[in-house]
Amino acid sequence: MPVSQRGMAPRMDDVMRLCCEISAHDQIKVAVKNSTKGAMVAGGTAFAGGLLGGPVGIAVGGVVGSLLGSWLTSGQFRPLPQILMELPPTQQQKLYDDVVAVLGNLDWMDAAQLISLVMGNTTLQQQVTAALLNYIKKELSAEVRYQY
């Protein structure tokens, strides 16, 4: 059945599965919200160190704060497919819109065919990955890390 006859829900499911496949393939992990906390701790201790110890205090506070901030956010990275599947419908719709804009008028029958078409075209795969990462950084204010 052509895509236009299948309706919106199956198309969104196909695109979400594509995003999960790409993020699993690239082993992308994401930290949502807690990355800001770590940065605030690092900056705050550098500031406090500067107030207490001048220039040397800034350096010491920066190092201590960076270590503390890193410790606070360690283990907070989760696989991106897990995060994508937990997105509320409004955020899934926004991601869907962003990815469909990249796909243009590409026609597919089901998720398997969509994944095959995109993964078989390096340029299209890179464009979808870029749209996905842009969405994650912009909409979720998340920090992205690749596992190699």
- Tell me the per-residue pLDDT of 14-62, one tens digit each, with 9 for 90 and over: 999 999 999 888 887 777 654 445 555 556 666 666 677 777 767 666 6
For residue 33, give Cα distances in angstroms to 16, 36, 39, 143, 144.
22, 6, 11, 8, 12
Tens digits of residue pLDDT in 129-143 = 999 999 988 887 777
- Can you tell me the distance from the alpha carbon of 77 to that of 67, in angstroms, rounded to the nearest whole number? 17
pTM across the whole model = 0.64
